[in-house]
Amino acid sequence: MSKKIGLYKDGNGRFIPAYDEDYEQAQKLKAGEVHYFSVKKIRNPRLHRLFFKLLTVGYENQEQYNNFEHYRADVIVEAGYYYETTKDFGVVRTPKSIAYENMDDMEFKELFDRVMDVVTQQLGVPPDVLLREVKS
């Protein structure tokens, strides 16, 4: 049986259940048995908000798209984060999911940087100028 338990590492190097629910799950584990855990760092919610602000700034300063979701999908594909499927009429590129459970913090930061490159090229502005606008 597989259970998810959120853990954080304290200053002494010990892993401690992160929340009450995690503590309750950890209490169910039998002492003296070996348990293996997968480690995945959760994504930074601040970077997630910054990512969508970046896409919003890009969307609001272009004229090709009249639907934000279409714009978002195409930018993610242009950033190289997609699946390819071959159909009778050609190759279809579908953006991969950016859901929290599908990407860790490092993967999301890499996607953020690639999307930043795409949007700066689309708008013709330097990355530092765009980043200041997004952070304001």
* Residue 72 scores a pLDDT above 90: yes
Amino acid 10: pLDDT? 87
DSSP tag of 43: P
* DSSP structural state of residue 96: P
Give the mean pLDDT of 126-136: 91
Q: pLDDT at residue 84 above 90?
A: yes
Phi, psi of 79 (to 5 degrees): -75, -5
Domain ranges of the chain: 1-39, 45-135
pTM for the model stands at: 0.71
Reduced to 3 states (helix: H, G, I; strand: E, B; else coil), residue 87 is strand
pLDDT tens sequence across 43-67:
788 999 999 999 999 999 999 999 9
Q: Which of 20, 24, 22 is nearest to 5 (CA)?
A: 22
